[in-house]
């Protein structure tokens, strides 16, 4: 299982537009991807409600995990996505 930690760069955190962009990208990986705040239970990264319920804010860290072929590359792309201010694009 591949794991990455990333700091949320979107100024509004993982709400509305940034969450939708992230969920779409996670879904497009075709893998089982989860996201969690450190120490909390992970949620399905392909669930908009789950991702928004995390309440991850700007500057907070989240942990991404994925399993399957290409998991490392998939997580690297998701980390790159969350490292940008998705609400400013």
15 catalytic? Reply is yes
- Distance between CA atoms of residues 60 and 42, nearest Å: 15
Q: Which of 4, 15, 37, 57 is catalytic?
A: 15
H or E element in which residue 56 lies: none
- Distance between CA atoms of residues 76 and 78, nearest Å: 5
Residue 84 per-residue DSSP state: S
Residues taking part in catalysis: 15
């Amino acid at each position: 299982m591949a794991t990455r930690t990333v700091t949320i760069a979107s100024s509004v955190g993982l709400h509305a537009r940034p969450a939708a962009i992230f969920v779409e990208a996670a879904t497009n990986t075709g893998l089982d991807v989860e996201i969690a705040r450190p120490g909390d239970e992970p949620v399905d990264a392909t669930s908009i409600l789950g991702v928004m319920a995390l309440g991850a804010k700007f500057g907070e860290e989240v942990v991404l995990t994925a399993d399957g072929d290409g998991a490392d590359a998939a997580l690297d792309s998701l980390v790159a996505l969350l490292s940008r201010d998705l609400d400013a694009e």
